Amino acid sequence: MVTSMHHELAQRSEDGIVVRLIWDEANDQVLVLYKDTRTGDAFSTQVPNAEALEAFRHPNAYRREAVAA
């Protein structure tokens, strides 16, 4: 969920996959949210701010034991 303390920096969707890049202003943290609408696979993960664009382009490379989005 994007609140007043969360700012969407970027979003892209292609072939059923939606990737969003969110900045959590209160914590100065960047989150990547990933969802595959075809399979229901979804995750979110924090990424280092300096790697935000790379994580947005290649979210699965940053996938960890992530919390479901």
pLDDT by residue (tens digit) across 45-68?
A: 999 999 999 999 999 999 985 455
Number of separate domains in the chain: 1
Under DSSP, the state recorded for 64 is: -
Q: pLDDT tens-digit profile of 9-47?
A: 999 999 999 999 999 999 999 999 999 999 999 999 999
Q: Which residue has the tokens 């969360």?
A: 6
For the domain that residue 12 is a member of, what is the CATH number?
A: 3.10.450
Q: Across the strands, what pairs with 4?
A: none
69 inside domain: no
pLDDT reported for residue 64: 82
In terms of residue numbers, what domain contains 52? 6-62
pTM: 0.83
Alpha-carbon distance of 28 to 24, in angstroms, equals 5
